[in-house]
Structure 1
Amino acid sequence: MLWRSVVFKLWFTIILLVAFVLMILTVFLLEFFEDFYVQDAEENLMNQAENVAVVIDQHKETSLTLDTIDQLLAPQTSVTVFFTEHDFWQNKMDANKPSIEPSWFVSNDEISGVFNSNESVRKITTLPNSNAEIIIVGMPTVDNNGAIYVYQSLEVVEETTTKATKIILLAATIAIVLTTIFAFFLSSRITAPLIKMRRVAGELSRGEFNTKVPVLTHDEIGELAISFNRMRRQLNYHITALNQEKSQLSSILKSMADGVITVNKQLGVMLINPPAEQFLSQVNFQGDNEDYTLPQELRKTLQNVIEEEQEYAKEIVAQGRNFVLVMTPLYIEGEARGAVAIIRDMTEERQLDKLRKDFLANVSHELRTPISMMQGYSEAIVDDIAETKEEKQELAQIIYDESLRMNRLVNELLDLARMEAGHIQISKENVEVKPFVKRIVKKFHSIADEQQIELVEHVPVDLTYSFDPDRVEQVLTNLIDNAMRHTPNSGKIEVKVDESNNELTFYINDNGSGIPEEDLPFIFERFYKSDKARTRNGQKKGTGLGLSIAKHIVEAHGGSIYAKSQLGEGTTFIFSIPQ
Structure 2
Amino acid sequence: MNVSIRFKLLIYMTVNIVLFAVLLYGSNTFFAEKYYINHKKNTLIESSQKISELIAEKRRESDFHDENLIYEINTLEKSIGGTIFIGTLDGTVYYPLSTGHSPPQRPGFITDLPNPDNEPGPPPRPDFRLPKTPKRNIQGWEPYDETSFFFITKDPNFKIETLRYQAQLDNGFVLLVWVPMTGISENASISNNFTTIIGLITIVITGIWALFISEKFTRPIMEMNKITKKMSNLDFSQTLEIGHKDEIGQLSQSINHLSYSLDKAISQLNSKNRQLEQDIDRERNLDKMRREFVSNVSHELRTPIFLIQGYAEGLKANVAKSEEKRNFYCDVIMEETDKMEGLLKDLLDLSQIESGMFPINKIDFNISSLIKDIVSKYEPILTDKNIHISIEIKEELTAHADPVRIEQIIVNFINNAIDHVDKNKVIKLTVESIGKKIRVSVYNSGSTIPDESLNKVWTSFYKIDKARTRDLGGTGLGLSVVRAIQEAHSNNFGVINRENGVDFWVEIDIKETDITDTQKEFSA
Structure 1 residue 557 and structure 2 residue 493: aligned?
Answer: no
Structure 1 residue 179 and structure 2 residue 196: aligned?
Answer: yes
Change (3 A) 1:254 1:440: farther
Out of 506, 509, 513, which is 1:578 matched to? 509
2:259 equivalent in structure 1 = 243
Structure 1 residue 255 and structure 2 residue 260: aligned?
Answer: no
Aligned mates of 1:374, 1:184 — CA distance in 2: 116
Q: Deviations over 1:109-158 (max 9, x none)?
A: xxxxxxxxxxxxxxxxxxxxxxxxxxxxxxxxxxxxxxxxxxxxxxxxxx
Structure 1 residue 569 and structure 2 residue 500: aligned?
Answer: yes
Deviation at 1:363, TM superposition (A): 1.2
Change (3 A) 1:448 1:180: farther
Q: Which shifted more, 484-493 or 238-247?
A: 238-247
Out of 404, 408, 422, which is 1:474 matched to? 408
Q: Secondary structure at the match of 1:443?
A: helix
Map 1:402-417 to 2 at 5 A. Answer: 402-417=336-351
Aligned mates of 1:405, 1:239 — CA distance in 2: 69
Q: Secondary structure at the match of 2:361?
A: coil
1:510 equivalent in structure 2 = 444
Change (3 A) 1:236 1:389: same
Deviation at 1:558, TM superposition (A): 0.8
**Contact persistence 2:400–2:508 (CA under 8 A):** no
Change (3 A) 1:405 1:540: same
Q: Secondary structure at the match of 1:522?
A: coil
1:50 equivalent in structure 2 = none
Out of 245, 252, 276, which is 1:211 matched to? 245
Deviation at 1:426, TM superposition (A): 0.8
Change (3 A) 1:207 1:197: farther
Letter in structure 2 aligned against 1:245: S
Q: Secondary structure at the match of 2:455?
A: helix
Deviation at 1:420, TM superposition (A): 2.1
Letter in structure 2 aligned against 1:390: E
Structure 1 residue 398 and structure 2 residue 332: aligned?
Answer: yes
Map 1:459-498 to 2 at 5 A. Answer: 459-498=393-432
Aligned mates of 2:13, 2:480 — CA distance in 1: 86
Deviation at 1:188, TM superposition (A): 5.6
> Percentage identity across aligned positions?
29
Letter in structure 2 aligned against 1:560: N
Higher relative contact order (CA 8 A, sep 6+): 2
Aligned mates of 1:16, 1:197 — CA distance in 2: 21
Q: What runs of 5+ residues in structure 2 fail to find an aligned partner?
A: 1-8, 27-187, 225-239, 511-524
Q: Which shifted more, 186-195 or 396-405?
A: 186-195
Q: TM-score of the superposition, structure 1-length normalised?
A: 0.49
Change (3 A) 1:397 1:180: same
Change (3 A) 1:368 1:14: closer
Q: Deviations over 1:208-261 (max 9, x none)?
A: 25433xxxxxxxxxxxxxxxx3x654x2464154134214314413532x34xx
Map 1:316-465 to 2 at 5 A. Answer: 347-465=281-399
Deviation at 1:353, TM superposition (A): 2.1
Aligned mates of 1:475, 1:420 — CA distance in 2: 15
Letter in structure 1 aligned against 2:506: F
**Contact persistence 1:203–1:209 (CA under 8 A):** no
Q: Secondary structure at the match of 2:421?
A: coil
**Contact persistence 1:497–1:505 (CA under 8 A):** yes
Aligned mates of 2:465, 2:330 — CA distance in 1: 31
Deviation at 1:186, TM superposition (A): 7.1
Q: Secondary structure at the match of 1:515?
A: coil
Change (3 A) 1:345 1:424: closer
Deviation at 1:530, TM superposition (A): 1.0
Aligned mates of 1:420, 1:429 — CA distance in 2: 21
Q: Secondary structure at the match of 1:530?
A: coil
Q: Deviations over 1:142-197 (max 9, x none)?
A: xxxxxxxxxxxxxxxxxxxxxxxxxxxxx999965652334435776899799567
Deviation at 1:16, TM superposition (A): 12
Deviation at 1:472, TM superposition (A): 0.4
2:99 equivalent in structure 1 = none
Change (3 A) 1:194 1:560: same
2:479 equivalent in structure 1 = 547
Return structure 1 stretches of 4+ with deviation > 4 angstroms: 4-18, 171-178, 185-198, 203-206, 342-347
Aligned mates of 2:217, 2:432 — CA distance in 1: 68
Aligned mates of 1:254, 1:576 — CA distance in 2: 37
Q: Deviations over 1:235-289 (max 9, x none)?
A: 2464154134214314413532x34xxxxxxxxxxxxxxx8xxxxxxxxxxxxxx
Deviation at 1:361, TM superposition (A): 1.3
Change (3 A) 1:423 1:15: closer
Q: Secondary structure at the match of 1:521?
A: coil
Aligned mates of 2:270, 2:350 — CA distance in 1: 34
Q: TM-score of the superposition, structure 2-length normalised?
A: 0.54
**Contact persistence 1:200–1:211 (CA under 8 A):** no
Aligned mates of 1:552, 1:512 — CA distance in 2: 26
Letter in structure 2 aligned against 1:181: I
**Contact persistence 1:434–1:462 (CA under 8 A):** yes
**Contact persistence 1:478–1:547 (CA under 8 A):** yes
Letter in structure 1 aligned against 2:261: E
Q: Deviations over 1:14-33 (max 9, x none)?
A: 99999xx9xxxxxxxxxxxx
**Contact persistence 1:558–1:578 (CA under 8 A):** no
Aligned mates of 1:373, 1:500 — CA distance in 2: 48
1:199 equivalent in structure 2 = 216
Q: Secondary structure at the match of 2:439?
A: strand
Change (3 A) 1:482 1:542: same
Letter in structure 2 aligned against 1:544: G
**Contact persistence 1:10–1:187 (CA under 8 A):** no
